[in-house]
Homo-oligomer: A and B are copies of this chain.
Amino acid sequence: MHSESKPLGEFDLIQRFFKAGADAMRSNNEKVLALGIGDDCALLRPVAGEEIAITSDMLVEGRHFLLAANPELLGRKALAVNLSDLAAMGAKPIGFTLAVALPKVDTVWLDAFARGLFAIANQYSCPLIGGDTTAGPLTISITALGSIPSGKAIRRSGAKVGDDIWVSGCVGDARLTLAALRDEIKLPEHDLKQIEPRMHNPNPRIELGIKLRGIASAALDISDGLLGDLQHILKQSHVSAEVFLEELPKSITLQKQSAAIQNQFAATGGDDYEICFTAPIETRSAIDAISKELNLSLTRIGSITKKVDETQRLHLLNKYGDLLDDAKTVELLKSFDHFAK
C-alpha cells in the first residue's frame, strides 16, 4: 500500500523485512515452535525432558557499534552475542525475538540488516518468532531461547577444586582491532584484515557448548574480558584459581605485539565471544577429541585451586609458575564495564 517515497508503517516494516525470513525458517524447529511471528505472543511446545534457556542482550548505537557500522554484520552480530550465551549453557537454539528502535526507515539499511540477521539465524536454525519495531535511537534488543536436556545445562556455579580451566579459540583480537581502529596501535592493513572479523563477526560456539554437556563443570562466554568473566565462575562456584598468564591462546597477529599488550589484551580484552570452561582432569582426552572434531583449538590456561578463602580468588602466574604481584593482577582485572568508563 505504501509507495517508496512514503514512510513505511510499523506493520509494513515487520511484514517487509522480517516476516518472510521468519516464515521461511518456521520448518526448522517445527516440533518445538507452535506459533511464530504475527500474534500477541509466540508459542513454544516444549519437548518432554528438556529445559528452556533464555538470554537477552541489547546493542546500542554509539556504545556497541557506530551508526556507520556495516548493517549486515551488525544484524549478524546482534544475534551472535545472544547465541554465544546459549552456547555457554550448552543449549541448542530454538528461536529469538527482536525489538528494534530505528531513527528512520532506511530500506537499504534494513535490507542489509535483515540479510545478516537471517543468515546467522539460518546457520544456527534459530528462527525469528516475534518482536517489536518502533521509532527511536538505533537500539537492537534480542532475546534468544534454546533447549537443553533437563539437568544438563552448564552453569557458572559448578567448578570444582582440581578442575582444569580451558578457553576456546584465541582471545584479545577484538580488543586489538578496537585499538587499531582507535589509532591507539598502528597495525599493518594485512594484520587488521586478519583480525577484524573477530570483532565484527564473532562465531557463537554452539557446537562446542552442546558437546561440553556432561564434560564441563562450569562455563560462560567471554564478552567483557577473560579474567573478569572468569571471576563470575569463581564467585558462583566459591573457588579460587591459578591462571598462567602467558599461556592464554593468542593469534599470530596479536603475538606480533609487545608482551605487555599481548597479556593485557588476551586477559582483559572484551568482545571475543569465546567460551571459558572448567572440567575435571580426567576429561582432558575427551576435550582434545572435541577440539579435533570441531577443528577449534581448546587451550588449558590454569586450574581451580581451592575453596575460596580470605585472599583474592584469582592468582596469575608467569611462565615459571611464580605468582605475579597483586598490583599487576588488579590492573589486569579491570575488565570492560559499560558504566565504569
Binding site for B on A (CB under 8 A): 7-11, 13, 34-35, 38-46, 48, 50-58, 60-64, 85-86, 88-89, 91, 97-102, 105, 129-137, 139, 141, 143, 145-146, 148, 150, 153, 155-157, 219-221, 236, 337-340
Complex Cα distance A42/B89, Å?
9
Given contacts A39-B155, A40-B85, A141-B141, contact A101 B51 (CB under 8 A): no
B-chain residues with CB within 8 Å of residue A139 when the two chains form the complex: 58, 60, 101, 136-137, 139, 141
Complex Cα distance A35/B151, Å?
11
Contact A86 B41 (CB under 8 A): yes
B-chain residues with CB within 8 Å of residue A7 when the two chains form the complex: 339-340
Contact B38 A236 (CB under 8 A): yes
Complex Cα distance A102/B139, Å?
12
B-chain residues with CB within 8 Å of residue A58 when the two chains form the complex: 99-101, 132, 134, 136, 139, 141
B-chain residues with CB within 8 Å of residue A56 when the two chains form the complex: 97-99, 130-132, 141, 143
Contact B40 A44 (CB under 8 A): no
B-chain residues with CB within 8 Å of residue A61 when the two chains form the complex: 136
Specify which of B9, B60, B86, B132 is in contact with A339 (CB 8 Å cutoff): B9
Nearest CB in chain B: distance from A14 CB, A: 11
B-chain residues with CB within 8 Å of residue A130 when the two chains form the complex: 54-56
Contact A135 B338 (CB under 8 A): yes
6 A–B contacts, CB within 8 A, in A order: A39-B220, A41-B54, A58-B100, A60-B134, A63-B134, A135-B339
Complex Cα distance A148/B34, Å?
12
Closest 7 CB pairs of A and B: A60-B136, A141-B141, A46-B46, A41-B53, A58-B99, A143-B143, A56-B97
Complex Cα distance A11/B102, Å?
28
Complex Cα distance A10/B129, Å?
29
Given contacts A8-B339, A41-B146, contact A57 B91 (CB under 8 A): no
Nearest CB in chain B: distance from A339 CB, A: 5
Give A156's nearest chain B residue, CB to CB. Answer: B39
Given contacts A105-B339, A139-B101, A340-B10, contact A40 B52 (CB under 8 A): no
B-chain residues with CB within 8 Å of residue A89 when the two chains form the complex: 39-41, 43
Complex Cα distance A129/B137, Å?
26
Nearest CB in chain B: distance from A222 CB, A: 11
Complex Cα distance A58/B61, Å?
16
Give A131's nearest chain B residue, CB to CB. Answer: B56
Contact A11 B43 (CB under 8 A): no
Contact A338 B10 (CB under 8 A): yes
Nearest CB in chain B: distance from A220 CB, A: 5
Give A141's nearest chain B residue, CB to CB. Answer: B141
Complex Cα distance A338/B135, Å?
6
B-chain residues with CB within 8 Å of residue A143 when the two chains form the complex: 54, 56, 97, 99, 143
Complex Cα distance A236/B38, Å?
9
Nearest CB in chain B: distance from A50 CB, A: 8
Known: A40-B88, A56-B99, A60-B136. 15 other contacts (CB 8 A): A7-B339, A7-B340, A10-B339, A34-B51, A41-B88, A42-B55, A45-B150, A55-B97, A56-B98, A61-B136, A63-B135, A132-B141, A133-B339, A141-B141, A143-B143
